[in-house]
Amino acid sequence: MHGGDPREAARCALNRACEHLARTQAADGAWRLPPAPRILENALACLIAEAFVPELLPHVAAARHWVLDAAVQRHHEVPRVLDSWLQAWVSGRAREAGPDLTHAAFSEPVFAPRRLTFCALALALDTPVQGGLPREHLQARMLELVRTRHVSRLKTWSVAEAAALFLLLGGTGSPEDTALALDALCEAQLPSGSFGEHQVATFLALAALRRQAPGSAPFARALDFLLRTRAEDGTWRFSHADVWDTALLCRALEGHERFGATLRDGAEAFLLRHQKRDGGWPYRNDVESDTDTTGMVMLALSPGAASLDASRAAAGYLSRMRTEAGLWRTWQYREDPPAEEVVAHAVLGLRRWGADGDAWLPGTQWLATRLHEDTGWCAHWYNMQSYAAHEIGMALGPAHPATRHAARLLVARRNADGGWGPTAGAASSAAATGMSLALLGHYLPAEHPVISRAVHLLVELQQPDGAWPGPVEMFVPRPFAIDYPMQALALAAHGLALVAGPPRAPLIPLE
């Protein structure tokens, strides 16, 4: 199907999407759908059960079966290596050796924590690691993270991982150090029994508690959390992302009548209720604030007194989280590098609610320098070139030369079916096509073949229930990919909403 009015086609597709959203919106106004299962959580459950926590063994049969049939993630060397090792360990093929951590990617600042975690885990299993670190070095590093957790603003789940791995490594720690790590671990436990609502951290904490405090209430609560949060099919899933998903949908569908009439009020009320005392928002409703979600919620809220008050508080949070260079990390942790789309969301959020240019101009200047002539911009949290191009491009403005260059790259990379894949040469996806539309709609009219063909491809890809298929590769933890179903809908709808809205005049020249 390639004929018909693209604006009307976009409106009809959005109305079907809103019907799906009405069926899936929770009573509190949020969208809270779990992600698909992964090797990471499920293989780790099997490993922890067999090596450390016999109480978990009767509950991992379904996870084991799923892991053995699952496909290893191959979009990046770090998850490829670690998924392969975990899967081989569960199958019984790799009990005598740890993962090979020699690849240069394991030394990159964003991915180095994965190296520390899996090196420590392998040594706790008494298996050698290629490219690893000595046990004493790892213990000292984990202890340092525990001791400096407050001044470094380490996230709860990261504190739990560091404390748990220190305790699992055993050996050289003094009784005082062991007590400190155990206290920090118990301090990090949430009322739910989890550690940061994070399955990996909770599995590691469970193993450490089984070794150090097997009959304790924290151990029992952690075990109860993990058993209680298994999916119906017996697998474990990473946490939902109700605040992020809800904000992403509200932003994408801003101005769409059907969404505004029936769904937006409840969704925005949910977002306003879950703002933290520090002024920020977390990716889910009961963990700590992060910069990326805070910026996204600021973009999602519609004008009004409550939104203005909330955004002023959020601007204060972003001001406190800004680095000396005027940039933003995703997490407050001092070793987390600035991320391009996180900086873009902070810039956009601050500008939307009237912040002075001094608050965000350094961010735009930095973003302009991050453009790669041949490939455009890269995002830290999504494996999707058009997402990076749109988010960063909007922070600079569609008239900025770098944004127009990124838009021209998208036009040049268009697939034969009229859509875009997440990366150059990949098959077209709904999410990547939607985000390409969201940028190119600032330059090309709805009747232009590039726009109209993309709209009609999204109509063809839309499922009977009104959703769009994934996967969308979000990186949690970076660079492990995770697929949240609502994000495919939000990103596809974002571009359609631009096309379905009032015509933009004058359009900006693409050349």
Could you please report the per-residue DSSP string of 254-265? TT-HHHHHHTHH
- Nearest Cα to Cα of residue 509 among 440, 437, 446: 440
What's the rounded Cα separation, in Å, for the pair 496 and 379?
Answer: 22
Phi/psi for 329 (5° steps) reads -90, 160
Dihedral sign of CA atoms 395, 399, 401, 404 in order: positive
Assigned domain for 121 exists: yes
Q: Which residue has the tokens 């519609």?
A: 302
What CATH number has the domain bearing residue 318?
A: 1.50.10.20
Assigned domain for 507 exists: no
223 and 251 together in one domain: no
436 and 412 together in one domain: yes
155 and 44 together in one domain: yes
What's the rounded Cα separation, in Å, for the pair 206 and 212?
Answer: 10
Phi/psi for 470 (5° steps) reads -95, -150
203 and 259 together in one domain: no
Assigned domain for 394 exists: yes
383 and 479 together in one domain: yes
Cα–Cα distance list, 199 to 30, 40, 186, 305, 327 (Å): 22, 10, 16, 38, 30
341 and 462 together in one domain: yes
153 and 184 together in one domain: yes
Q: Which residue has the tokens 């838009």?
A: 407
Kindly report the number of other CB atoms within 10 A of residue 261's CB atom.
Answer: 10
Assigned domain for 510 exists: no
Chosen domain end from 192, 208, 228? 228
Assigned domain for 280 exists: yes
Longest dimension (CA), the chain: 74
pLDDT of residue 334: 61
Q: Which residue has the tokens 């990547």?
A: 432
DSSP 215-234: TSHHHHHHHHHHHHT--TTS
Assigned domain for 221 exists: yes
In DSSP terms, which residues pair with 100 in a beta bridge?
Answer: 130
Residues 6+ apart with CB under 8 A from 1: 456, 459, 460
Residue 51 belongs to what domain range? 39-228
What's the rounded Cα separation, in Å, for the pair 378 and 326?
Answer: 20
What's the rounded Cα separation, in Å, for the pair 287 and 409?
Answer: 38
18 and 106 together in one domain: no
DSSP 8-state symbol, 482: E
> Mean pLDDT of residues grouped by 10 in the chain (511 residues)?
84 99 99 98 99 99 99 98 98 92 95 96 96 94 95 91 97 87 98 98 99 98 99 98 99 97 97 98 96 98 96 98 95 79 99 97 98 96 98 98 98 98 97 99 97 99 98 96 98 98 88 83
pLDDT of residue 1: 45
30 and 105 together in one domain: no
What's the rounded Cα separation, in Å, for the pair 373 and 392?
Answer: 15
- Nearest Cα to Cα of residue 298 among 314, 320, 318, 317: 314
Query: What tokens appear for 373 in the block?
Result: 């002539």
Chosen domain end from 175, 199, 228? 228
172 and 260 together in one domain: no
190 and 221 together in one domain: yes
The pTM score is 0.96
Chosen domain end from 205, 228, 251? 228
Q: Is the peptide bond before 54 cis (omega within 30 degrees of 0)?
A: no
Domain count, the chain: 2
185 and 145 together in one domain: yes
Assigned domain for 306 exists: yes
Assigned domain for 233 exists: no
- Nearest Cα to Cα of residue 99 among 87, 91, 110: 87
- Residue 211 near residue 52, CB atoms below 8 Å: yes
